[in-house]
Amino acid sequence: NAGVTQTPKFQVLKTGQSMTLQCAQDMNHEYMSWYRQDPGMGLRLIHYSVGAGITDQGEVPNGYNVSRSTTEDFPLRLLSAAPSQTSVYFCASSYMSGARTGNTIYFGEGSWLTVV
């Protein structure tokens, strides 16, 4: 059981480049989300999805796009990378209904992104 898988683990981008962070889960979770975590700070929600074809903005969505074409995958796209997007990115997933194990959230191992 792989859980939540993120790729790549490390990436260096030049300002203005675009890239996609991949996230996949094999637990048939409806809810998926992306967080960023700057050094010494907490987790900030970028975008989230409650099912295939449904996405919505979180706290800090600017500069990022998402799509959810399948239940398993939730890629995060950086449109034109900026140094302010240097951060660690975490993908997370869970069931939506409270009756299913209390909606425990599973996190990926993180993707370290540096924009120079």
Partner 1 sequence: DAKTTQPNSMESNEEEPVHLPCNHSTISGTDYIHWYRQLPSQGPEYVIHGLTSNVNNRMASLAIAEDRKSSTLILHRATLRDAAVYYCILRTSYDKVIFGPGTSLSVIP
Site residues (vs partner 1, CB under 8 A): 33, 35, 41-45, 48, 50, 56, 58-59, 90, 92, 94, 96-98, 102-110
What is the smallest separation between the CB atom of 41 and partner 1, expressed in angstroms? 7
Cβ proximity to partner 1: between 47 and 78 the closer is 47
CB 89 within 8 A of CB 35: yes
Rounded Cα gap, residues 67 and 49, in angstroms: 8
Amino acid at position 95, single letter: Y
Cβ proximity to partner 1: between 17 and 45 the closer is 45
Cβ proximity to partner 1: between 17 and 22 the closer is 22
- 16 sits in the region (left: phi over 0; alpha: psi -120 to 50; else beta) called left
Cβ proximity to partner 1: between 61 and 63 the closer is 61
Q: Nearest-CA neighbor of 94 among 107, 104, 81, 102?
A: 104
What is the smallest separation between the CB atom of 24 and partner 1, expressed in angstroms? 15
Rounded Cα gap, residues 31 and 29, in angstroms: 6
What is the smallest separation between the CB atom of 16 and partner 1, expressed in angstroms? 28
What is the smallest separation between the CB atom of 80 and partner 1, expressed in angstroms? 25
| Alpha helix positions (H), 1-116 | none
